[in-house]
Amino acid sequence: MSSRRTSGLILLLGLLLAAPAAATYAGDKPLSSVFYDEFRGGYVYTVGNSTYSGAINPGGQYTVAFDPELPADATVRYQRLYVYWAWSKLDQSAIYPVLSLTRTDTGEHLTEAGRYTDSKGFASQNDFFSGMDIFTTADLNPGTNSFAVVLENNATDNRTFVVQGIGLLTVYESPESPEAIVWVSEGADLLYNSYGITPVMASSRVDFPGTIDRSGLESAELFLVAPSGGYTREKIPVINRLFFNREGTGSMPSFFETILSALFPGSNGKEWANV
């Protein structure tokens, strides 16, 4: 038996399936696990030539070209297009966007499979909605696939929104590829340590179902998508942290936890800063 490779994809938009009334800068709910299986294969994720759109007015369009490649023996197991949008508003009022996607190579009007949204969750001049829309599309073919998708603002009023990019995920099975265990989790949770939200509150937990036989494990990969994540212009030494198999901040002072982690690096998972 060949060695196993574990691949995981977590789509972390900085938002999380939260109703507007419950939406906050805190981690409100865990991401939703939408795919989990063990097979020979892998995944491809690309944002094509996505760029920040600026405000898209009613009737305005936003186009992204993709050029993904699959192995010659690949068959698609799970595939989605993700639209990462923000600042959806009508004048100075928060409102959800009305949008559509069309695929240029087939003329296919894509079907929306879901929407995750969040907002700051408190009275503010700029408390607008952000979110991720999910679309299904025809399966990619083995080899190179070249096509574009066109997004259009279909609002009948004057609502606008911005797009941070469109992502394409394809999980594929390939008999000639190594064995893999693949998880896909989707959701949206706007996380920000400010306005009374503590670092512990501004945390979101992701769980992976199932078990892994580590004796045959060759490698593991955790892939996250977080629009507007990462560094800021503020002089903050650590803007975000990723904890794996850890509960985050404990009850001990931080310098004690730092010393213990240095002395016993494998005792309590692993932590990364500024991911």
Residue 247 has pLDDT above 80, yes or no: no
* Neighbouring-strand partners of residue 27: none
Q: Which H or E run contains 257?
A: helix 254-263
Output the pTM of the full model: 0.81
pLDDT tens track for 51-109: 999 999 999 999 999 999 999 999 999 999 999 999 999 998 889 999 999 999 999 99
CA distance 122 to 103: 38
CA distance 218 to 212: 12
Tokens describing residue 216: 């045959």
User: Could you read off the pLDDT of 3-51 as tens digits, one per residue?
Assistant: 333 433 333 332 333 233 334 666 676 788 899 999 999 999 999 999 9
Q: What is the pLDDT of the chain when averaged over all its residues?
A: 79
What does the pLDDT look like over 206-229, one tens digit per residue? 778 888 777 878 888 888 888 877
From 10, 49, 24, select the one nearest 163 (Cα to Cα): 49
Pick the CATH number of 4-229 from 3.30.70, 1.10.490, 3.50.30, 2.60.120: 2.60.120
In this structure, are residues 131 and 188 in contact, taking their beta carbons and an 8 Å threshold? yes
**Angle subtended at Cα 13 by Cα 223 and Cα 130, rounded to the nearest 5 degrees:** 170
> Residue 127 has which token pair?
């408390």
φ, ψ at 65 (rounded to 5°): -100, 140
Query: Which ranges in the chain are annotated with CATH 2.60.120?
Result: 4-229
